[in-house]
Structure 1
Amino acid sequence: MPDQLSLSPRQRDDLRTIAAMIVPASDEYKVPGADDPAIQADILATLGRDTRLVTAALDHLARLAGGPLAELDATKRDAVAQEFRKQGGAAAATLVRVVLQCYYRDDRVLRSLGLELRAPFPKGYVLPDGDWSLLDPVKARSGTLRRAP
């Protein structure tokens, strides 16, 4: 299974930079940004099957930046990030998902949200009922998925 050595030092610097852009630290809520060392360590330790797409996303960012994203000033980084959002595709979506999943399992972040520091199962979490009609288009496509035996 791939580990943190799968990312080059430039990629790790760019990951830290883009993670801080995705989720910046907040003094108001007393939470770290996604560039926090503990959150970064979690990201690197759990990349697993997402390594290929995350490295592709980081390489794409570097191409758009004309070099390491981490070395650009804030204005240029923002411009690169906007372009990346437009054309990053599945790799960009994977990068954002990986950053967010690690961020939202950090104890400090969970505490700030008022959640217990525990696994979601077996107790689970109660979610308010939503608008179930949002699933109507999916239900209307019945037959497009194969049935389980």
Structure 2
Amino acid sequence: MSADNQLTPRQRDDLRIIAAMIIPASDEYKVPGADDAAIQADILATLGRDTGLVAAALDHLARLAGMPFADLEPTARDGVAQEFRKHGGAAAATLVRVVLQCYYRDDRVLRSLGLELRAPFPKGYVLPDGDWSLLDPVKARGGSLRRAP
């Protein structure tokens, strides 16, 4: 069963509306919002193991609204979204992560950021050196995992 068959039509409508609130379209940067049809299709096609939490988040959003979120007056959506953000927990965090990951792999968005349209492997991307001391607590724990041969 594909992910878009696992979300109800109401949930898909609510997903589109909340996604647009998370990342609205920008004329200045010439990028679509996260409610764009191609980005929404990517979200639905790749939900996979996150489907349950995303569905739970959308149901929570609808409960807070007292109706399907998409049916709520646009002026009332912000208040409901703020409450959802405060009390949505892991389900809300998963919904936001899914929207962000699909948005930032859209070719139009990558172009607007000046990134080359390619997979990160095999060329890789150069990352600036960070503070490697942040890994000290992990190293101090010792080897609790099986070593590769």
Same-fold call, TM cutoff 0.5: yes
Deviation at 1:87, TM superposition (A): 1.0
Tell me if the contact between 1:19 and 1:35 (Cα under 8 Å) persists in the aligned partners: yes
C-alpha displacement of 1:2: 3.7
* Conservation of the 8 A alpha-carbon contact between 1:47 and 1:98: yes
Letter matched to residue 144 of structure 2: R
Deviations 1:10-66 (A, max 9, x none): 100000001001111111111000000000000001111111010000000000010
Which residue number corresponds to residue 100 of structure 2?
Answer: 100
Deviation at 1:73, TM superposition (A): 2.3
Identity of aligned residues (%): 83
**In the TM superposition, what whole-angstrom CA distance separates every residue of 1:40-97 from its partner, at most 9, and x where no partner exists?**
0000011111110100000000000101111222332111111111111111111011
Do structure 1's residue 30 and structure 2's residue 2 form an aligned pair? Answer: no
Corresponding residue number in structure 2 for 1:41: 41
Question: Secondary structure of 2:94's match?
Answer: helix
- Deviation of the 1:136 alpha carbon: 4.6
CA distance in 2, matches of 1:87, 1:11: 19
Distance 2:121 2:28 in 1: 30
Give the number of equivalent residue pairs. 147
Structure 2's unaligned 5+ residue stretches are none
The residue number in structure 1 matching 2:146 is 148
The within-5 A match list for 1:66-81 is 66-81=66-81
Contact 1:6/1:51, CA 8 A, preserved across alignment? yes
Q: For residue 57 of structure 1, what is the amino acid of its counterpart?
A: A
Give the aligned partner of residue 6 of structure 1. Answer: 6
For 1:133 and 1:98, locate their aligned partners in 2 and report how far apart those are by CA, in whole Å: 30
CA contact (8 A) 1:2 1:51 kept: no
Within 2, Cα distance between the matches of 1:83 and 1:115? 35
Q: Which residue of 2 aligns with 1:55?
A: 55
TM-score by length of structure 2 reads: 0.90
Q: Are residue 18 (structure 1) and residue 29 (structure 2) matched?
A: no
Could you tell me how far 1:135 is from its partner in structure 2? 4.0
RMSD between superposed Cα atoms in Å: 1.7
- Cα offset for 1:138? 4.8
2:109 is matched with 109
